[in-house]
Structure 1
Amino acid sequence: MSAEQSMRAVVARGYGGPDVLELVELPVPEPGAGQVRIRVEAAAVNPVDLATRSGALVDGGLMAARPITGIGWDVAGTVDALGPGATSFTVGQSVIGLRDLLDVSVGAYAEYLVLDESAVAPAPVDVPASAAATLPLNGLTAAQALDRLALPAGGSLLITGAAGAVGAFAVELATRRGLRVVAQANAADEPFLRDIGAHWFLDREKPDLPTEVRRPIPAGADAALDTAGLGIRALAAVRTNGSYATVVGGPPPLPLRGITVHQIWIKADGPTLTTLATHVPTLRVAGTFPLDKAALAHRRLAEGRVRGRFVLTL
Structure 2
Amino acid sequence: MRAIAVSALRAEPVLVEVPKPEPGPGEVRVRIDYASLNPLDWQVTDGSAGELAPPPRAFPFVVGVDYAGRVDMIGGGENRFRVGDPVFGRADVADACGSYGEYLCVRQDSAIALVPRGLDARTAAALPSAGMAAAQVLEAVALRGHETLLVVGAAGGVGCCLTQLARARDVRVIAAVRGDERSRMGSLGAAASVDLTDGPPADALRKACPDGIDALADLA
TM-score over 0.5 for the pair: yes
Q: Which moved more, 1:121-130 or 1:39-48?
A: 121-130
1:12 paired to 2:3: no
Per-residue deviation, 1:41: 0.8
Higher RCO (CA-CA < 8 Å; seq separation 6+): 1
Per-residue deviation, 1:126: 3.9
1:112 paired to 2:103: yes
Per-residue deviation, 1:51: 2.0
1:200 paired to 2:192: yes
1:214 paired to 2:206: yes
In the other structure, the counterpart of 2:93 is 102
Map 1:116-195 to 2 at 5 A.
116-118=107-109, 119-195=111-187
Map 1:218-237 to 2 at 5 A.
218=210, 220-228=212-220
Call closer, same or farther: CA 1:62–1:146 in 2, change over 3 Å.
Answer: same
Q: Which moved more, 1:121-130 or 1:36-45?
A: 121-130
Q: Deviations over 1:5-28 (max 9, x none)?
A: xx1221122244xx7102222222
In structure 1, what residue type is equivalent to 2:27? Answer: Q
CA distance in 1, matches of 2:56, 2:27: 26
CA distance in 1, matches of 2:212, 2:24: 50
CA distance in 1, matches of 2:206, 2:55: 43
Call closer, same or farther: CA 1:193–1:61 in 2, change over 3 Å.
Answer: closer
In structure 2, what residue type is equivalent to 1:34? Answer: G
CA distance in 2, matches of 1:102, 1:179: 33
In structure 2, what residue type is equivalent to 1:74? Answer: D
Report the RMSD for the aligned CA atoms in angstroms. Answer: 2.2
Per-residue deviation, 1:206: 4.6
In structure 2, what residue type is equivalent to 1:197? Answer: G
Per-residue deviation, 1:137: 1.3
Q: Is the 8 A contact 2:44 2:53 kept in 1?
A: no
Query: Number of paired residues?
Result: 218
CA distance in 1, matches of 2:199, 2:104: 44
Call closer, same or farther: CA 1:108–1:175 in 2, change over 3 Å.
Answer: same
The percentage of aligned residue pairs carrying the same residue is 36
Call closer, same or farther: CA 1:207–1:83 in 2, change over 3 Å.
Answer: farther
Per-residue deviation, 1:66: 4.2
Per-residue deviation, 1:94: 0.8
Q: Deviations over 1:243-277 (max 9, x none)?
A: xxxxxxxxxxxxxxxxxxxxxxxxxxxxxxxxxxx
Name stretches of at least 5 consecutive residues in structure 1 with no aligned partner. 1-6, 229-314
Call closer, same or farther: CA 1:61–1:81 in 2, change over 3 Å.
Answer: closer
CA distance in 1, matches of 2:87, 2:216: 32
CA distance in 2, matches of 1:42, 1:215: 42
Q: Is the 8 A contact 1:36 1:86 kept in 2?
A: no
Q: Give the SS at the match of 1:178.
A: coil
TM-score in terms of structure 2 length? 0.88
CA distance in 2, matches of 1:171, 1:143: 10
Per-residue deviation, 1:113: 0.7
Q: Is the 8 A contact 2:70 2:83 kept in 1?
A: yes
TM-score in terms of structure 1 length? 0.64
